[in-house]
Structure formats: C-alpha cells, structure tokens
Amino acid sequence: MPDTEQNAPRSGLARLRTALWLVLAVATLVGIAVVYDRGHPVGDPSSGYASAFGGPFNLTAPDGSTVTEKVLAGKPYAIFFGFTRCPDVCPTSLARMARLRKQLGPDGMKFAIVFVSVDPGHDKPADLGNYVALFGTPIIGLTGTDAQLEQIKKGYGVYSAKVTQPGGDYTIDHTAAIYLMTANGEFSGTIDHQESDATALEKLKRLIA
C-alpha cells in the first residue's frame, strides 16, 4: 500500500511531463512547417508537402453523377468538409468563399469551390444540391458512402465524428480548414476560418495565378 501511494503522484507527474513534451513537439513541427512554407511559392513541389494531401476519391454529386479527382483536374479548387445542419462554421465558410470569389471579379471563376458532406446519414445528394445553391455561386456538392468518405477524409487528413445530442439526435465535430489545391491536384495551403479576408484573398490570388 505505501508503495502505491508514493508512486501515484510520480505517475501523475510523469504523465504531465509527457503531455508537455508532446505539446512542445507539435508546436515545434507546426512552426517549422509555417517557416518552411513561407520560403516556397504556393504549389511549388519543392515545398515538400505538395503531395501530402489529396489523392484518389469517388463521390456523388447532387445530380447523381460520379465525381473523382480526375473530374476536378485542370482547375484549382478550394475544398471544405462539413454538413448541411452545421450551425455556424459551414455556412459561414461557404458564404465567405462566395464573397471572396466575387471580390476577385472575373478571376473568381478560375477556381472551383467543393463542399463535401461528412454526414451521409442525413445529407443525400439532392439535399446537398439544395444546400449549396443557397450561397449564390457555383459550388460542387459531394457526398458518398461511409467508406468513400473515409477514403477522401484520410487523403486530406480530415477529422470528423458524430456527437450524440439529448433526444437521440447528433451533431458532427469536423476539421474546419479549407484546403487549396492546384490544377495538378497538389496541396498549396489552407484558409483558416479565423484569418482575415485579406490574407485569404492573397492565397486565392496565388492559387489562380
């Protein structure tokens, strides 16, 4: 018993130290990535992570047609993952992309906007089509089976998980970043919902340059 009592605080301290080291390691890696990114043009393969995100996928559009990465090839695109019942981040992000596209003038149509629903249980293709039509600009809405969505989520490093609500309903926690992809299907960066429109606009200008 005495040994257990003495080891308990040491075990807790060890776990705390491990957690702090993990936080420090992640912060260091993020810092390196940011500095490294600033030293390379958007979409430059030499940046080391142009192929880190993306890859093959097979999803369904609102009209029932199949959309793969090959369909999107040849034109830059911004891709965002969410769900139609999302109360805040999803509608705000899509409305923002529509606004930024408008600010680019004629150049705004040089990139596609893609919205992938991670809620196949609720968002059917037709529902998704009705949803993206609300934003007043062409948006490619996509969904698929659980397996198909897992494939594209893995390719983009996207997290999503159901969160049960009182009464049996659910919401979904999900990655909120908008991924920017070049015409060659290479990752060129992200737009974060917390950064300014001016910063996001510059990223889009570089993407379509």
Q: What does the pLDDT read at residue 50?
A: 78
Of residues 27 and 141, the one with the higher pLDDT is 141
The per-residue DSSP string of 86-144 comes to: -SSHHHHHHHHHHHHHHHTGGGGGGSEEEEEES-TTT--HHHHHHHHGGGSS--EEEB-
Q: What architecture is domain 49-208?
A: 3-Layer(aba) Sandwich (3.40)
Closest CA to 188 of 170, 209, 171, 168: 209
Q: Does the structure show a pLDDT above 60 at 110? A: yes
Q: What does the pLDDT read at residue 48?
A: 57
Residue extents of the structural domains in the chain: 1-39, 49-208
Q: Does the structure show a pLDDT above 50 at 181? A: yes
- Mean per-residue pLDDT of the chain: 82
The answer to whether 183 and 75 have CB atoms below 8 angstroms apart is yes
